Amino acid sequence: MANLNIDAEKERTFQAIVIGSGMSGSWAAKELCEHGVKTLVLERGRDVKHLTDYPTTNMLPYEFKHRGNISTEVEKENPIVSKCYAFREDAEHFFVKDKEHPYVQEKPFDWIRGYQVGGKSLLWARQVQRWSDFDFEGPARDDFAVDWPIRYKDIAPWYSHVEKFAGVSGNKDGLPNLPDGEFLPGFELNIVEKYFQEQLKKNYGNDRHMILARCAHITGNLEYYQQQGRMKCQSRNLCQRGCPFGGYFSANSSTLPWAEKTGNMTLRTHAIVHSIIYDEVKQKAVGVRIIDANTKEMEEYFSEVIFLNAAALNTNLVLLNSTSNRFPNGLGNDNGLLGKYVAFHNYRAGVSAEYDGHLEYTTEGGRPTSGYFPRFRNLRKQETNFLRGYAAGFSAGRYSYANQDGIGMPLKENLLNPSNLTNWRIGSHMMGETIPKETNYVTLSKEEKDQWGMPLLKVSVEYDENDEMMIKDYHEQMTEMFEKAGFKNIRTRDDHRAPGLDIHEMGGVRMGHDSKTSLLNKNHQLHACKNVYVTDGACMTSTGTQNPSLSYMAFAARAAHHAMENSTNLKS
């Protein structure tokens, strides 16, 4: 029996284990496998294969029972996830359903999740803006959180590495607060968006900019991307269904197939990670304990290095649940800060308007990105009554509408053949940086468990006065810019959404210089257990204003190379 056990353990032993197959986990797997490291990728959900498992990708509107809308019954059963803009009839199969995976809301928090191979990389908005030192130096300059242990120069080459492989469309804008990257040709702003650019320059000089938002879509260098089996973006704007062209970056179309073809990746689906196994004699992590989602049996896998990329809040959950005599409060949690200083992006506010100029022009077709305001508030000095600042989206368009005159057949013909055009409709939404606070935290429920016996995650996260002042300033500044551009019928909104719908939750396992005030060092290793790396949103010391996925991908690639360079056991 002993020999059988030894053989079984050998079959479950790898050089590296990656927990999570989404945005950051797939990058860790790709880098490790590409360099000869035998890697196990653990995914708690089902397999989703590129092309094969996109059931709605080519369906026409009339082929959906509810013309793309979710039914009243589904909405009633899913009061949280149904608030997400992408939770529609064409993509609902990629979202976690509320009843199946409960959590505890100590304060209102809408937790949006995608449990399948590829995770939320099938559902993301594909916006990829680099951080700058205005972001990495922010906590130290403005005296909040702790100092980031890295700067832009540390991550810049890894941004380039990721951008080249993923494919990023954009323009060289020359802005210090939003560094340029390795860009494919950018999509074009329309006539009114360009007009607004000109008005900003006229009214604000070089202090404010509206640019094309960089997006992870292939628009050139097609021979290179054909090596991944990917093609040019068709601008269908049906991305949340899964792209049959591989036109945008997802783990399913890009990094995971690349890792798989090396022969070094083993993918284990339906594997709910229970905890990381810590060996107190070896004083390091030696493996991962999982629960089979179908049989509910416990299994153990072993490795030299572990990458934890379960998405921010689940990464916190796994570490909090990884207890031992050495770490009674969670793996690496000597300072008691695990799960604390969670932050997010403030998406509550928006501004809309109309414009009666340029009516000789209209728009047609789709475009998978929009205009983008890089942060301009408190950039070089503190100038407001709140800390940090916000970025914003911007778009303009004209839309057809039907003449509703007549009755009977004339009315029916009018409705079926819309031909009239609105004036230009202008829209902007805010993406505000929130300040990490110890009072914003996640922890484990001591009483409630899920169907697999895992403790439920308790979430206690809320807005603060800084967020409210930022919303007020955004409304004021955007209204002023719209007025100066000649827009009319300007309307501000605050939808008072709970945190979470931004789907940019971050922190809880933050990076820092000092093991007394942070969990991870500059290389994303747990201070107290250096063969465990965290490179998803949990590692974030602060949030910046940019969409964070590009940073996660760059962090994961950088950390994978650090692990390979510093472990003699990660060699083929």
Alpha helices in 306-401 (DSSP H): 312-321
Whole-number Å distance between alpha carbons of 505 and 203: 35
Select from 426, 507, 502 the least CA-distant residue to 467: 502
Any residues with CB less than 8 A from the CB of 568 and at least 6 apart, and which?
Answer: none
* pTM across the whole model: 0.96
Pairing of strands 340-343, 400-401: unpaired
Helix (H) or strand (E) segment spanning residue 331: none
Tell me what pLDDT residue 1 has: 40
Tell me what pLDDT residue 464 has: 98
- Burial code of 401-430, b = ≥16 C-beta within 10 A, e = fewer? eeeeeeeeeeeeebeeeeeeeeebbbebbb
The string of DSSP codes covering 35-55 is TT--EEEE-SSB---TTTT-T
Tell me what pLDDT residue 144 has: 97
Select from 310, 542, 320 the least CA-distant residue to 442: 320
What does the block give as tokens for 171? 């323009």
What does the block give as tokens for 229? 């089996």
Tell me what pLDDT residue 572 has: 52
Residue whose token pair is 């789709």 = 366
Q: Over its length of 572 residues, how does the chain's per-residue pLDDT go in tens digits?
A: 444 466 668 889 999 999 999 999 999 999 999 999 999 999 999 999 999 999 999 999 999 999 999 999 999 999 999 999 999 999 999 999 999 999 999 999 999 999 999 999 999 999 999 999 999 999 999 999 999 999 999 999 999 999 999 999 999 999 999 999 999 999 999 999 999 999 999 999 999 999 999 999 999 999 999 999 999 999 999 999 999 999 999 999 999 999 999 999 999 999 999 999 999 999 999 999 999 999 999 999 999 999 999 999 999 999 999 999 999 999 999 999 999 999 999 999 999 999 999 999 998 878 999 999 999 999 999 999 999 999 999 999 998 887 788 788 877 877 777 778 899 999 999 999 999 999 999 999 999 999 999 999 999 999 999 999 999 999 999 999 999 999 999 999 999 999 999 999 999 999 999 999 999 999 999 999 999 999 999 999 999 999 999 999 999 999 999 999 998 778 55
Return the bridge partners of 397, or none: 425
Any residues with CB less than 8 A from the CB of 440 and at least 6 apart, and which?
Answer: 340, 341, 342, 343, 460, 461, 462, 507
Give me the torsion for CA of 469, 475, 481, 485, rounded to 10°.
Answer: 180
Whole-number Å distance between alpha carbons of 100 and 96: 7
Asked if 70 contacts 143 with a C-beta cutoff of 8 angstroms, the reply is: no
What does the block give as tokens for 496? 């008072």
Looking at this protein, which amino acid is placed at residue 2?
Answer: A
Return the bridge partners of 444, or none: 457
Asked if 547 contacts 23 with a C-beta cutoff of 8 angstroms, the reply is: no
Asked if 25 contacts 18 with a C-beta cutoff of 8 angstroms, the reply is: yes
Helix (H, G, I), strand (E, B) or coil at 468: helix
Looking at this protein, which amino acid is placed at residue 508?
Answer: G
What does the block give as tokens for 197? 């650019």
Tell me what pLDDT residue 4 has: 43
Maximum CA pair distance of the chain?
A: 85
Pairing of strands 488-494, 349-355: antiparallel
Return the bridge partners of 275, or none: 289
The string of DSSP codes covering 218-274 is --S-HHHHHTTT---------GGG--TT--B--IIIIIHHHHHTTT-EEEE-SEEEE
Alpha carbon separation from 72 to 88, 130, 240, 456, 571 (Å, rounded) = 12, 40, 21, 28, 54
Tell me what pLDDT residue 2 has: 45
Alpha carbon separation from 260 to 67, 255, 268, 390 (Å, rounded) = 37, 9, 12, 39
- Residue 75 burial class via C-beta count within 10 angstroms: exposed 0-12, middle 13-18, buried 19 and up: middle
Tell me what pLDDT residue 5 has: 60
Asked if 68 contacts 59 with a C-beta cutoff of 8 angstroms, the reply is: no
**Distance in angstroms between the alpha carbons of the first and the last residue of the chain:** 30
Select from 228, 262, 154 the least CA-distant residue to 521: 154
Half-sphere exposure of residue 485, counting CA atoms within 13 Å on the CB side? 31
Whole-number Å distance between alpha carbons of 456 and 549: 26
